[in-house]
A and B are shown apart, each in its own frame.
Chain A
């Protein structure tokens, strides 16, 4: 198995373990995601936020959180 395939599987596992509960919680506590997005929009502007979303899908949330530190 190539390195990249292994990394993808590891990434998916980590994402599932760490990420899914966050998002299901986010769905439950509905405003979390919208708040992250609102802050990112303020920090980066809509065009940059849109670009990041298109480039990385929902994983762009990591970039948003980083910019909000």
Chain B
């Protein structure tokens, strides 16, 4: 059986207009599809994964690919970003060959399966952790079995009625999963041309108000064994990767595991690769950061979010301003090459002075760069639901397809126009006169920046 898994881009808007401005938007592959792909391959199926985000191909080219491969099953990762592109391709695909079985996964399949099946006429939606549900579905289809009730985490049609089976249990032993096969996508990712991502654990016990990851992956933190992660890194080194981004929901939750992982990286001489990761500020002890640096973690990103304790408490971040200051100081003491911090503006009750305080705070911290964002929420995010409960946002019928800038829908937020002005000021301050020389030397001594720039120059030339 031939299966094509698609990760599409956001080149089409809700009016069906294709954007002419197409840029590569990712620098790591769609790991979820690669996990599913490898599991299917190990069970004897032919799989191809295609990522429009990296090829920036037009939709007619995707259709040409589908016609050329003529698969029996096409799987789509359906996200808010690519909703309209998926709709366009799905419609064309079913028009060309209505017998191709289409399967939706990811955000919409998980949270709005019935609505999605009504809107796009998918044959199946996979809910929950999708690897084994997808495999079970393909096995059923291959053997022409039609009792889909047996498959957990599936939404399907029976006599024109949409039905859903219970969600599968969360995987307890992630080592059971195969190592995702990056060769399923024939393109090089990354700022430096040789990057990929790795997932060493799933789930996060924290309940930050703006985050929906724990809703998808669960609040129970489930790590892979250090040995299993090291094996994957070894394989990546053999495949020529240079930069590896850890994309865990909560990478540094278990400190002992981080020490063991760093030791394993060094023991296997994998520390000539460059690693990038995320860390909570309350986990950022000197020993942890030093261990990460010695294993060649060149970049750590802290989720700081605000310079106001009241807003941090509102977000339920569970961190304090002194902890943030200390974590930045510690990272610099541990000689981390690149230290980033994210800051989110636009919480429903955030005052103008609090937003200004955050920008000032961000630029005062000794970070390589602060990263400013406006607060967004989709309809499953707690913040959106609170606004609806308080009657501050009247839900519309098509809200489920959208993601909202909170300042656009919250009457108590700072207006978007004012926030954008603040954001401009914040970014301008990053390059103020005092810091230009610092950034210049930082850029010249940092191989990661240099590689990224050389790569982008070479890409433009090609």
Contacts and interface: CB of A to CB of B under 8 A. Distances in A.
A38 B427 CA distance: 10
Which of under 10, 10 to 19, 20 to 34, or 35 or more describes the interface residues of B? Answer: 35 or more
Contact of B369 (A19, A38, A54): A54
Interface residues of A, number: 33
A16 B261 CA distance: 38
A51 B373 CA distance: 10
A48 to B, nearest CB: 10
Nearest to B458: A7
A46 B372 contact: yes
Contact of B447 (A8, A50, A56): A8
Considering residues B191, B420, B430, B439, which has the most beta carbons from chain A within 10 angstroms of its beta carbon?
A: B439
B423 interface: yes
A8 B454 contact: yes
B289 to A, nearest CB: 19
A46 B450 contact: no
A19 B191 CA distance: 21
Contacts of A15: 443-444
Given A47-B372, A50-B372, A59 B453 contact: yes
Contacts of B423: 46-47, 50
A4 B194 CA distance: 12
A34 B447 contact: no
B446 A57 contact: yes
Interface string B340-379: 1000000000000000000000000000111111100000
Given A4-B451, A12-B450, A58 B442 contact: yes
Interface string B413-435: 00000001001101110110100
Interface string B397-425: 00000000000000000000000100110
Nearest to A46: B423
Interface in A5-47: 7-8, 11-12, 15-16, 19-20, 23, 26-27, 30, 33-34, 37-38, 41, 45-47
Contact of A56 (B370, B430, B444, B449): B449
A8 B449 CA distance: 10
A37 B428 contact: yes
Contacts of B120: none
B434 to A, nearest CB: 10
B440 interface: yes
Contacts of A54: 340, 368-369, 371
Interface in B180-211: 191
Contacts of B424: 41, 46
Contact of A11 (B191, B420, B430, B450): B450
A46 B420 CA distance: 7
Nearest to A53: B369
A46 B426 contact: yes
A62 B454 CA distance: 11
A47 B428 CA distance: 12
B456 interface: yes
Contact of A33 (B427, B431, B444): B431
B369 A50 contact: yes
Contacts of B340: 54
Contacts of B191: 55-56
B439 A57 contact: yes
Nearest to B430: A53
Contacts of A33: 431, 436
A14 B444 CA distance: 11
Contacts of B372: 46-47, 50
Contacts of A51: 371
Contacts of B427: 37, 41, 46, 49-50, 53
A30 to B, nearest CB: 6
Contacts of B431: 33-34, 37, 53, 58
A59 B369 contact: no
A58 B439 contact: yes
Nearest to B420: A46
Given A15-B444, A23-B436, A57-B443, A7 B452 contact: no
Contact of B449 (A38, A50, A59): A59
Contacts of B433: 27, 30
A29 to B, nearest CB: 11
Interface of B: 191, 340, 368-374, 420, 423-424, 426-428, 430-431, 433, 436-437, 439-440, 442-444, 446-447, 449-454, 456-457
12 contacts: A27-B436, A33-B436, A46-B372, A46-B423, A49-B427, A56-B191, A57-B369, A57-B439, A58-B431, A58-B442, A59-B443, A59-B453
Interface of A: 4, 7-8, 11-12, 15-16, 19-20, 23, 26-27, 30, 33-34, 37-38, 41, 45-47, 49-51, 53-59, 62-63
CB-based closest 3 A-B pairs: A57-B443, A46-B423, A57-B449
